[in-house]
Chain A
Amino acid sequence: MRKSIALAVTAATTAGLAAFVPTAADAASCTVTTLNCGASTATTFTITGGTLSISVPDTADLGTYASSATGTTVQGLLTDASNTPTVVTDTRGGLLDSWQVAVTASDFTTGGGTVPETVLGSTVTAWSGNVTVTNTGGTKTQTTSTAPVAATGALPIASNTGYAGNDSASYTPTISVLVPGTNASGTYSGTITQTVS
């Protein structure tokens, strides 16, 4: 009689331990999933939260410069006549979510786009200047880049480093490019693209 009570108690304790294991290691429940439902990557859950968004001015004017035999540095703010800034809004809601913005440039051409009428996109540089970040903790100003970063997409010009949670960041990047002295005069056209990921 006493023996059966003891067994019942120990069984309950082990059951308690067993129930504790799957909650501690989610991997245990994955294994079960894999066995019953095929590959574990096929079983998904729905993610709640908002988007990672970017808003840019459509056009920018870097100004008019006199050409020089030694080359001309064309440098200006990437903004339109009404000074529209670039705005990144992160409403994904994760505490550890980070994002970064990289800049890529197409070749800039004038006239027929021959070699002396082309400025290579790979020679374009950009930097963010001051980035005003607003989140639930208030508004702070940070600077991701003050020095030129090649507009090849390899390095970010802006990021939300150090600001956890939902945030909104606003900045007006500077674009700089050295137009070689051998290039033709004219209005050069091209596209600067900002990518947030």
Chain B
Amino acid sequence: MAAATVVCPTLVPAVIAAPTAEGAQYPPGLGIRLLDASLSRKKDPRARISIDDFVHPGDTLTRHFLISDGDNRPFNVKIYARAAKIVDGNFAIVDKQPGEIPQWTSLDRSSATIPPQSAVTVTVKISIPKTAPKGEYYGALLAELPPPPTHQGVAVGARVGLRVYLAVGPGGEPASDFTVDTLTAARNEHHVPVVTAEVHNTGGRALDMAGTLRLDHGPGGLSAGPFPATLGTVLAPGQTEPVVVVLSKDIPDGPWHARIDLQSGLLKRAAEGEILFPSGAGETSKPVAAKSIPLTKNRDVIVPIAIALLLFLMILLFLIWWRRRKRDDDDDRPATS
């Protein structure tokens, strides 16, 4: 009830985003940013920087983005859409092959002249055909700043891109999920310990991985971390890719109990394993199977469950107390009559 009254009135003004404050400073060069996203994804970090949505065949998605010029000369930019694919953990923009996203996308302008230290707003409409097969579609909206045309030799161009992750299908959005299959301890050529987690995307949406690794029960009871996992590993549904955590050089070989906490958007998973770093630089230990840590050990799940249980217990206690009171009353009655 509360949700409906809050949500609907924002529908009209929400798409008209105020792009630039007067005299705003843009970082040097060509910039891009998304101006709006689906309200249902407000808490999802990926949806704040990419067009990330689930849509039904026949739907049309309208979004706005901004292209900025942070230099002291005007920019003549080309604006277009390209397909993309997820290969080897990377989001790769495909320039030379057609794809669904460019076919479905229409932009309100294909070029723009941006004055120095200012920006333009572009409206993008992505119309999903009624016949679109169920699946994940990737692409990018690009602004290109070509180099000055008169030059002989190597000219350097710049492009900025806004990623598009679209899931298309009937019914509800496919669930996202992943497992951590193995943990591998290694030392790189500089003797720095590195842990690699094999992550398997078992859900129906692409994942952007982030997370941390902690070590404990080490030599002499040592513990270490958290160490940040390398950001930006992207996995399409069904893919398995390594997520790398680089540790500090002074970490002894172990053995250690390692716990890795990984997340993509709002989805979180944890896994643990016993690892031992090799002593030599450039060496890799045998991968160990990672044991999934049940979700109930995660705070985000256990706290709401605990609150719910507590409330339930309170009601139960109250009912028992009330029934006893009632029985006492009933017991009293025959005695008085």
Contacts and interface: CB of A to CB of B under 8 A. Distances in A.
Interface string B46-59: 10110001111001
Per DSSP, chain B at the interface is mixed
Contact of A9 (B18, B40, B318): B318
Nearest to B66: A51
Interface residues of B, number: 92
A41 B38 contact: yes
A168 to B, nearest CB: 8
Contacts of A54: 29-31, 158-160
Interface stretch (B144-152, B176-184, B276-284, B287-295): B144-152
A59 B59 contact: no
A82 interface: no
A44 B46 CA distance: 15
Contact of B230 (A24, A41, A161, A190): A161
B95 interface: yes
A51 B31 contact: yes
A189 B207 CA distance: 40
Interface stretch (B107-115, B253-261, B308-316): B308-316
A99 B146 CA distance: 21
Nearest to A197: B161
B236 interface: no
B157 interface: yes
A187 B229 CA distance: 45
B42 A59 contact: no
A62 B154 contact: yes
Interface in A138-189: 153-156, 159-164, 168, 175, 187-189
B267 interface: no
B94 interface: yes
A113 interface: no
A189 B152 contact: yes
Contact of B59 (A41, A92, A195): A41
Contacts of B91: 100, 197
Given A59-B155, A190-B154, A26 B42 contact: yes
A65 interface: no
Given A32-B3, A191-B147, A40 B38 contact: yes
A47 B42 CA distance: 9
Nearest to B54: A41
Contact of B142 (A43, A78, A195): A195
Contacts of A96: 45-46, 208, 210, 231, 263
Nearest to A190: B154
Contact of B33 (A33, A40, A50, A58): A50
Interface residues of A, number: 83
Interface in B1-49: 1-4, 7-8, 10-11, 14-15, 17-18, 26-40, 42-43, 45-46, 48-49
Nearest to B55: A41
A40 B39 CA distance: 8
Nearest to B84: A197
A91 interface: yes
Contacts of B228: 162, 164
B3 A58 contact: no
Contacts, number: 277
A72 interface: no
A130 interface: no
Contacts of B7: 29, 32-33, 36-37, 43
B119 to A, nearest CB: 8
A196 B160 CA distance: 5
Given A2-B322, A155-B88, A55 B232 contact: no
A16 interface: yes
B28 A55 contact: yes
Contacts of B92: 102, 153-155
A14 B34 CA distance: 40
A193 B78 CA distance: 13
Given A45-B36, A58-B151, A102-B92, A6 B322 contact: yes
Interface of A: 2, 6, 9-10, 13-14, 16-17, 19-20, 22, 24, 26-30, 32-33, 35-37, 39-47, 49-62, 78, 87, 89, 91-92, 94-100, 102, 104, 108, 153-156, 159-164, 168, 175, 187-197
The list of the 10 closest CB pairs from A to B, nearest first, reads A55-B29, A51-B31, A98-B232, A197-B161, A53-B31, A29-B3, A89-B27, A98-B231, A193-B157, A195-B159
Given A51-B160, A196-B161, A197-B160, 16 more contacts: A17-B311, A35-B4, A43-B14, A47-B34, A52-B33, A52-B49, A55-B29, A56-B157, A59-B151, A59-B156, A102-B92, A162-B228, A164-B228, A195-B142, A195-B159, A197-B161
19 contacts: A6-B319, A6-B322, A32-B4, A37-B11, A46-B35, A50-B27, A51-B31, A51-B68, A53-B30, A54-B31, A54-B160, A55-B29, A96-B46, A100-B90, A162-B246, A164-B210, A189-B154, A194-B157, A197-B163
